[in-house]
Structure 1
């Protein structure tokens, strides 16, 4: 039996330099490995990807050419957390300040979507805006302030 809801997530980053610059080289060189690890991870359902299979490279957020976006859907917060802090992704997470500016506003939002629904970049923009304006709610929340799945 499949779950009635799945966990959608968005995270954004303001690049310190263009994607093809030396500053971003290690990030870009590791993207395929990080995405492959997500794709193979228990609980992974879907991720936003451009025509070449690399998420975060072809999509801009809020019309800003320096903001890139990563979106994915997971079965639950536990499997998502295990991936984020797992052996492949964690080293890149620890180096994020080399590639991305520190933003004071929220850069990650989570929300529940009906199983099989795939969020759009516009959906993610709306959810992150809600989180920034209202704080964690059932409509947009964080790993530190999780909200339970809606009742089926």
Structure 2
């Protein structure tokens, strides 16, 4: 059974190490959001650094998720003091569970405040694609798919909620994924 991969990437207005209240608020809220999402129906796994690893995203051991990578448009720091990004890489059973996890609860509340924390880059903040059961995507896969979505728009190789594709590559309709009141525009 195929699994859905979700890669997210955002450029923060300030480095994660910044002690400002707004940065701390984002950083501290992320843990609760990850906890809630990891309990969501349809969630399978997400990239996590090896236990006890400390440093910037770029220095951590991500195991089978591969070496940490970022899109070409990321031009901020790469050290623990200067890194200004938020990125996730996760596996799901399908689009519906991913949609429900992203657009409800704590994560929905955070999305409503995204422009408090993130720069408006003009690039897509996430990309989806399907993998065969047992495949663990890498950070480089995520970057490649996000850049493809940015350059070519939604396609079976990389897509957004607005124009989703089924595992066999056929287009889906957003109404098959999202309830009417929560449709992405």
For the aligned pair, the TM-score class normalised by the smaller chain equals: 0.7 to 0.9
Q: Cα 1:68–1:89, aligned 2, differ >3 Å: closer, same or farther?
A: closer
Q: Deviations over 1:106-145 (max 9, x none)?
A: 1211000111211111001110111111111111011010
Query: Over aligned residues, Cα RMSD in angstroms?
Result: 1.9
Q: Answer with 1 or 2: which has the greater Rg.
A: 2
Q: TM-score, normalised by structure 2?
A: 0.72
1:48 aligns to what? 47
7, 10, 13: which one aligns with 1:13: 10
1:52 to partner: Cα distance: 4.9
Gaps of 5+ in 2: 58-67, 78-83, 170-185
Whether the aligned pair in 1 keeps the contact of 2:69 and 2:140 (CA below 8 Å) is no
Whether the aligned pair in 2 keeps the contact of 1:109 and 1:142 (CA below 8 Å) is: yes
CA contact (8 A) 1:61 1:68 kept: no
TM-score normalized with structure 1 length? 0.87
Alpha-carbon distance in structure 1 between the residues aligned to 2:13 and 2:27: 13
Tell me the equivalent position of 1:70.
Answer: 88
Structure number with the higher strand fraction is: 1
Are the counterparts in 1 of residues 42 and 93 from structure 2 also a CA contact under 8 Å? Answer: yes
Give unpaired runs (5+ residues) of structure 1. Answer: none
The CA distance in 2 between the partners of 1:44 and 1:110, in whole Å, is 14
SS in structure 2 at match of 1:136: coil
Are residues 52 and 25 of structure 1, via their aligned partners in 2, closer, same or farther at CA, if it must alter by over 3 Å?
A: farther
Map of 2:162 onto structure 1 = 144
